Amino acid sequence: MLNFQKVANLNRKKNFWISFTLAILALAAGSWGVIQVIIYGNHGSLTSYVPWGLWVGVYVYLVWLEVGMILSFFICRRFLKVEGIKHLGPVVMLAAISALLGALFAIGMDLGHPFRFWKAYFQPQLGSLMTWMIWLHTLYLFILVGELWAYKRGREFVDKYEIYLNFLTYISIPFGVLLIAVIGGLFGVVAARPFWNASVLPLMFFIASLIAGLGLLTVLHLLFSPRRGTEQYVETAQTLGRLFLGAMLIGAIASLANGLVIAYPNVPAYAEGLRMVLFGPFWWTIWIIHLGFGLLIPVVLLAFFRKNLTAIAIATGFYVLAFTMVPVNIIIPGLAYPMPAMEGLREAFHHTKLSFGYTPSIVEWLVVLFAVGFSLFIFSIGYRYIIEPYFIEHQHEFLPKVKQ
């Protein structure tokens, strides 16, 4: 069993080399997929009918994590007054930056011409939600880097420029909410895809982001809190566990309600996507991975072992990992069937790129592996050379209350 109550180890040289090595291995293995995309134009199993697949799903997942984590951290600290997470700020910023960069890489590989990204800045189409998404991503990244830079300068800088930091913190919240709304709107406004075309989709994206972000925030607290070993550390973990349990149940009820609204009238154009999610070829991703490992097990652990830190870690870790299936099961089923008026397309033309069937290829998985390795690389380097020195320099703020 993992011991989450031992005194915090602020010098994590061994952990750094383990995570750094894993990141390099992931980058090395995934580089073949990146080469296939950039040099040979191999976009895997994507077709003319299913142009968005695994990469878009991973992109949405990582954006949900990073924005939801920032929002959850802000809400827990400023409004719910959860004690013990104040000092986790630099870790949260670094994790958000790492996830955001991985997300941008994944979506960049999905573009047919990734090196034309500059056109979104210098030749923008302001009526396009995708243009606003790119601009918001860029501004959000600058805000997060600014906050992390303040921690790099040390406590003296943080105190001296507290107004500056508070300003960045407060403007990052509406930017994050707007970013999630724009991404949800990007799908919701596609009238040709009824499974997506709903005004509630941006709200569902926001709820999903908050829940996943709160789960990741709990994991980060358990693994990286400089107050590990104190009573406050344990109380904070238990409080986050209770909040996460409530958030999961609210999210499950909201998802059930949304599904019933689609299923009850049984309009084929809308219901077919839901049917593919629940009973299609990849039914196991929703029933076994997400609902089983990502919902049922965490609910049981948090309901019956709510004071056990290992149970909280397993529950939140399972949820965060299994949650990858949610955006994938929103995006792919929305594309993987012809509209009733276009049913003849399935038989009219026959070609590997004119198919509604989609299964991610090895190239797509390798690119995802590279994106994850890239995020882990950024986090490992950042923690070693920014967070760790900051924690060690100010350890007097954490260690006096540690049980020896």
Would 6 be classed as within a structural domain? no
Is there a domain that residue 11 lies in? no
C-alpha distances in angstroms, 284 versus 50, 103, 276, 278? 20, 25, 11, 8
Could you give the 3-state DSSP secondary structure of residue 361? coil
Does a structural domain hold residue 305? yes
Match 């860029």 to its residue by tokens.
138
Instruction: Specify whether the CB–CB gap between 184 and 202 falls below 8 A.
Output: yes
* pLDDT tens by residue, 353-389: 777 778 889 999 999 999 999 999 999 999 998 888 8
How far is the C-alpha of 221 from the C-alpha of 209, rounded, in Å? 18
Long-range contacts of 246-253 (CB under 8 A, 24+ apart): 247/210, 247/211, 247/214, 248/211, 248/295, 248/298, 248/299, 248/302, 248/319, 249/299, 250/207, 250/211, 251/207, 251/208, 251/211, 252/295
pLDDT exceeds cutoff 80 at 314 = yes
Domain contains 401: no
Asked, for residue 91, whether it belongs to a domain, the answer is yes
- Position 163 scores a pLDDT of 62
CB atoms within 10 A of CB 360: 18
Least trusted range by pLDDT, from 214-223, 252-261, 294-303, 390-399: 390-399
Q: What is the pLDDT of residue 63?
A: 92
Query: Is 36 inside a domain boundary?
Result: yes
pLDDT given for residue 404 in this prediction = 39
Residue 156: which CATH number?
Answer: 1.20.1630.10
Domain count within the chain: 1
pLDDT over 50 at 276, yes or no: yes
Torsional class of 359: left (φ above 0), alpha (ψ -120 to 50), beta (otherwise): beta
Mean pLDDT of 157-176: 70
Q: Is 143 domain-assigned?
A: yes
Identify whether 104 is part of a domain.
Answer: yes
Range(s) of the domain holding residue 242: 21-339+347-391
Q: What is the pLDDT of residue 34?
A: 93
What's the whole-number mean pLDDT along residues 138-153? 82
| pTM confidence score | 0.90
pLDDT in tens, 320-358: 999 988 888 888 887 776 666 566 666 777 777 777 778
pLDDT at 159: 61
